[in-house]
Amino acid sequence: MNWTKSMRTSVSEKLTWDNLLPSEQPVYVSSLVYSFGVFTLSSLVFCIVSGVIMASKGPLWYQYSSLGDFMRSIHFWSVQAFFFFMTMHLVGQFFMGSWREGRALTWVIGVASFGLSVVTAFTGYLSRGDFFSQWNQVQSKDAFNGAGFDGFLNILNNGQVYGLHIAVLPLILMGLVAWHLIAVRSKGVVPPYQAKITEQEGDKK
């Protein structure tokens, strides 16, 4: 069996239409803790759409136009909502032990997405161009120099930081989120501890 056939067989077994687009979900999925992932994804969509519009119009549009300022506020508050729901999702899934039953890779991808989101938001904050972002830009330069990262990223280079924020980092983040969603669909949502114990007791009876 060659590697292409092996991969095709593995994908067809794990990513069925019932897994990708399920028509029914377990009853415990109606809990609020299972909704934070959907809220996080919805906030990310607002971040991406508003960010694409802002990047296409340019800084002068969203800094001096009333409509551009409104779009920038949408981008700002969608980022706040994204981090709030993502933190709640991360904490909730941690206490639920979401790495159980072969879901360790799903958990690792989610944590990596969280870390990359922080870096993406940091470059976005430096791209604002106001006094506070410039001050933080200078202070970050010293931190990057001390950590030895200055050879890879020049924080004072606005073009480099802006390019990372609107092109490189969002593409990587969307790839990780897509991978995370596929992993969740292939393995299914993790059941709560109490539901697992009840199922085991039911099997014994």
Quick: pLDDT tens for 138-182: 888 888 888 777 777 788 888 888 999 999 999 999 999 999 998
- Higher per-residue pLDDT: 107 or 157: 107
- Higher per-residue pLDDT: 137 or 30: 137
Q: Do 126 and 155 lie in a common domain?
A: yes
The domain total for the chain is 2
Report the percentage of the chain scoring pLDDT > 70.
84
Per DSSP, 190 falls in state P
**Residue 142 lies in domain:** 107-191
Q: Do 55 and 89 lie in a common domain?
A: yes
Mean pLDDT of 10-25: 65
Q: Which amino acid is at 65?
A: S
Q: Give the whole-angstrom CA distance, residue 200 versus residue 61.
A: 60
Q: Residue 10's pLDDT is what?
A: 66
Domain assignment present for residue 9? The answer is no
Q: Do 143 and 165 lie in a common domain?
A: yes
Token pair, residue 166, equals: 């609107």
Domain assignment present for residue 33? The answer is yes
Q: Residue 23's pLDDT is what?
A: 67
Q: Do 168 and 92 lie in a common domain?
A: no
For tokens 């669909």, what's the residue?
185
Q: Would the pLDDT of 134 be above 90?
A: no
Domain assignment present for residue 7? The answer is no
CA distances 166 to 22, 79, 84, 123, Å, are 33, 14, 21, 9
- Among 96, 122, 152, identify where a domain stops: 96
Q: Alpha helix (H) ranges present in the chain? A: 3-14, 17-20, 36-57, 59-64, 66-95, 104-126, 131-147, 158-163, 169-187, 193-204
Q: Residue 133's pLDDT is what?
A: 83
- Higher per-residue pLDDT: 2 or 201: 2
Q: Do 114 and 176 lie in a common domain?
A: yes
- Among 68, 96, 124, identify where a domain stops: 96
Domain assignment present for residue 91? The answer is yes
